Amino acid sequence: MNPIQGPLNQHPPKKLSLSVQLRNAGLILVIILWGWMGFENTWASERSDMYLQSRSSTVLLVSVDRETKSVSFGTGFFISQDGHILTNAHVLVPSAKLLVYVTDQGVFTDANIVTIDQDADLAVLHLPQGHGRALSLFGTLAEDGAEGLAVGFPRIIDTLQMGLMLHGTVKPVNISGVTLGRSRTQGRSMPFLQVSGVLHAGTSGGPIVDAVSGQVLGIVVHSVPYIGQATDRKGSLIGSVQLRADMSYAIPSTFIRQWLADQRIPYEMQPSQIAGSSSSGSPARLPVDPQILGMAFFLTGHLMQTIAGTLNDEPEFMELAVNHYEKAHEIIPGNLAIVKNMALGYRALHRYGEALHIYEGLLQQSPSDPLILTETAKTLKLLHLDDQAMAMYRTVLDHESCHLDALNRLGILYLSHQEYGKAVHTFRQAVKCAPSSAYAWFYLGESMTGSGLVEEAHAAWKESLERVIIQNSQEKELFNLMRERAVSGPALLSHVSPVKPVNSPQVSSR
């Protein structure tokens, strides 16, 4: 018999001592824990990268209406690398200026509205610049109990007033299931994902991202409010307050995909590789890019400045804006956008000397730039250096004869110094360059009246009624004054007191 094939009980195994057994068990436990820790670290890194990916693909949408002095906020996210952004229709405010804040790139004012569906409460914007990190849309309905990440910019005003930097929020949520509801305007049957978790105002239009695949399960559409009772310290009822229930709703990705297909709008269908992960599965960690950090400070300052400007340069918001610009300038000292906006902030806070110092530095780099020359002239005027301001405006007009802001402001300076002849000449040029401008027509008549050219002033105001296109409430007020004076007739104009000049309607580019 081959000894190797002998009976199994021929050589019974030796019994291991207790110490050896414990040692082996400990070794096995160490191996298991080591493997588990590696898995935990990989999982944590991938989840962290998913947070970063979702946040970097999500944008803040700001609608600014200076007429009503209102600012509204919402969220959107890239669905294609060509620059298509999906959001809710109710996030976009009619007639308001739209600003798109892309946290690692900048702020954009050239977003085109591709389509708006008020009934489905969906809208698509397009940024010509594109974006390399679009989120893909999940191909099936989310399962009950699926874990998700709600990405957006909730309660942004509260965050900014605390002096914190603009930063998207990623909040874990759970999908409770699919339910049927009604569409926004026509009341048609429509599916919704019920989401467990309080999602505050500002999150509308943001994605619900699957915590496993990183794909979009749905788009946040609203949270459920309820009325709670408010009591005093003794428990007596003193009123009611609207609160947010621990429940929100989202339009599912399957509905969105069909809607986009019907609109012939491209979108990502395949999940992208999680940002920061390498082919081996280990995350490629990089230190914070100073450019990205500086841009984040700049965007926060820009948003604060936009809010402040809408509220008549509200000082608290403007002070916060300047603080963020100064931090951004420390990180990226050569960035022109940061420096220009910082100067505008200084000027709004009546820190004219600091603003002038910046503009003088910019003029050394670009001595013929009409925008910098004009902003320098405005600052000189605020410092009561009128002669220098007028000379600066004339320099602007030497380079650009129809620069309307320079024409209007130079004309007002001539008018305030009672140089009526020069004022008439300047406003004639303004009317020639912008025949629909109520501002130019009104102050042309004022200059003519000051020069004693009453009949010419009456004729100018009468002609303006057929040419002016009203752009805002300020121009509407001037138009009404011109109509009153055109009706009054030349004989009464000599007894009319001149109107104190108002600021030119031109708004500085930010």
Tell me the per-residue pLDDT of 5-59, one tens digit each, with 9 for 90 and over.
334 344 444 554 555 454 555 555 444 444 544 444 444 556 677 788 888 899 9
Question: What average pLDDT does this structure show over 200-216?
Answer: 90
* Residue 467: per-residue pLDDT: 93
Look at residue 203 and tell me if it is in a domain: yes
CB 95 within 8 A of CB 169: no
Residue 369 scores a pLDDT above 60: yes
Look at residue 305 and tell me if it is in a domain: no
Short-list 70, 147, 83, 69, CA closest to 113: 83
Look at residue 391 and tell me if it is in a domain: no
Look at residue 489 and tell me if it is in a domain: yes
CATH of the domain at 200: 2.40.10.120
Short-list 150, 105, 107, CA closest to 131: 105
Owner of token pair 């900014």: 160
Distance CA 48, CA 55 (A): 11
- Last residue within a domain, chosen from 263, 282, 299: 263
Give per-residue burial for 303-335: e unless 16+ CB within 10 Å, then b. Answer: bbbbbbbbbebeeebbebbbbbbebbbebbeeb
* Residue 283: per-residue pLDDT: 36
- Last residue within a domain, chosen from 263, 290, 306: 263
* Residue 105: per-residue pLDDT: 84
Residue-range definition of the domain harbouring residue 510: 401-510
Look at residue 367 and tell me if it is in a domain: no
Please state, rounded to an integer, the average pLDDT across all residues of the chain: 82
Look at residue 454 and tell me if it is in a domain: yes
Instruction: Calculate ∠ Cα 352-354-355, nearest 5°.
Output: 60
Three-class SS state of 146:
coil
Which residues touch 191 (CB under 8 Å, ≥6 apart)?
Answer: 141, 178, 179, 180, 181, 251, 252, 254, 255
* Residue 120: per-residue pLDDT: 94
* Residue 430: per-residue pLDDT: 97
* Residue 473: per-residue pLDDT: 84
Q: What is the percentage of the chain residues whose pLDDT exceeds 70?
A: 78
Look at residue 80 and tell me if it is in a domain: yes
Q: Is 506 left (phi over 0), alpha (psi -120 to 50) or beta?
A: beta
Q: Which of 138-142, 229-233, 449-453 has the lowest mean pLDDT?
A: 229-233
Distance CA 497, CA 414 (A): 18
CATH of the domain at 420: 1.25.40.10
DSSP string for 289-357:
PHHHHHHHHHHHHHHHHHHHHHTTS-HHHHHHHHHHHHHHHHHSTT-HHHHHHHHHHHHHTT-HHHHHH
Instruction: Calculate ∠ Cα 105-108-112, nearest 5°.
Output: 125
Task: State the pLDDT confidence band at 499, using cuts at 50, 70 and 90.
Answer: low
CB 88 within 8 A of CB 74: yes
Look at residue 458 and tell me if it is in a domain: yes
- Last residue within a domain, chosen from 242, 263, 284: 263
* Residue 292: per-residue pLDDT: 84
Distance CA 273, CA 269 (A): 13
Residue 78 scores a pLDDT above 90: yes
How many domains, in total, are found in the chain? 2
CB 220 within 8 A of CB 169: no
Residue 491 scores a pLDDT above 60: no
Q: Is 130 left (phi over 0), alpha (psi -120 to 50) or beta?
A: left
Q: Which of 35-49, 265-279, 311-325, 359-373 has the lowest mean pLDDT?
A: 35-49
Task: State the pLDDT confidence band at 232, using cuts at 50, 70 and 90.
Answer: low
